[in-house]
Amino acid sequence: MRIFIIMLDSLRKDHIGAYGNNWIKTPNIDRLAEDSIIFENAYPESLPTIPLRRSLHTGLRTFPFKEYNPRKGDIVKAYGWEPIPEEHETLSEILQKSRYKTGFITDTYHYFKPSMNFHRGFDQWIWVRGQEGDALRSGPPIEKSEFKKYNSKKGSNYYINLILKQYLKNKRIIKKKEDYFTVQVFQESIKWVEQNKEYDDTFLLIDGFDPHEPFDPPEEYIDLYYPNYNGRKIITPNYSINTDYLKEDELKYLQAAYAGETTFVDEQVGNFIKGLKSSELYNESLIVLISDHGHQLGEHGMTGKIPWGLYPELMDIP
């Protein structure tokens, strides 16, 4: 059997056409859904990124979080944000023992922070560098004139500014569409399929960090939903219980940037599916597409992933 799990971080269920959305373009995921079983009542076992992935990799509950030990070298301090315990066997380890050829391709940099160990049990793993706060580059520093193009000054804080500055350094390597991190993830996945198609039993975990913030797809995708915007680009919004820090047009841009990111990611999923079909592997494959959680974009007066705002925009997943 050929098994493919596609994890798309922060993908909202209500932003997908197959779940009833009629204004955001997700034709490729919609076509995949037509060939699939659709789950209408799926919810994450725990939040955010790393706690959920502990459940994904092991099939075990991580909540309630106990004996939390913050790790050195990681700015994120959240209960459950820890490596997989040594005694917990992962899906990849189980399949590897069963002689599956296993692969792991991702741009989710949290996997590779100091002390993390999520790439156990994979015959090959590829980390596409540069997303969000990934320490890919330390310089040169970001000019103030460049930094002022992004986010709302009123809604910024130390953590948001730190992440944004790192991302702006990282994105200097992006010169064309093919350089975007999410494009690289799915192109590497297509290569992996081609290189390993001689094996009868394969497992590939594709973990895409997008549409997670920074919401920064190519401009043409944002223009699909909010063209001719000339204000600050709100790409790493504050995690806030109100939206007072955003002007009306800034909030609209934030929502359009997320929608554009979703359409951009959908395009990459489509390219991967085309790769499976061209290799004549699509009809003999088990393909699972999931998300870890959503992201509030002004609904209920909130932006971000607020732990006490467990509304459908955050908790309903495809």
Q: Each residue of 150-183: pLDDT tens digit?
A: 998 888 899 999 999 999 999 999 999 999 999 9
pLDDT score of 317: 98
Per-residue pLDDT at 308 exceeds 90: no
For residue 129, the tally of other CB atoms under 10 A from its CB is 15
Q: Is the pLDDT of residue 194 over 90?
A: yes
Local confidence band at 265 (pLDDT 50, 70, 90 cut-offs) = very high
CATH superfamily ID and name for 2-315: Alkaline Phosphatase, subunit A (3.40.720.10)
Percentage of residues in the chain having pLDDT higher than 90: 91
Per-residue model confidence as pLDDT tens digits over 33-84: 999 999 999 999 999 999 999 999 999 998 888 788 888 889 998 889 999 9
Q: Output the pTM of the full model.
A: 0.97
- Report the mean per-residue pLDDT for the chain: 96
> CA–CA separation, 208 vs 258, rounded Å?
15
Taking Cα atoms as reference points, which of 132, 108, 113 lies closest to residue 9? Answer: 108
For the chain, what are the domain ranges?
2-315
Which pLDDT tens digit goes with each residue over 222-259? 999 999 999 999 999 999 998 999 999 999 999 999 99
Strand 296-297 versus strand 124-127 pairing type: unpaired
pLDDT above 70: percentage of residues in the chain:
100
Taking residues 97-103, what's their average pLDDT? 99
Pairing verdict, β 124-127 and 2-8: unpaired
* CB neighbourhood size of 305 (10 A): 20
How many CB atoms lie under 10 A from the CB of residue 95? Answer: 19
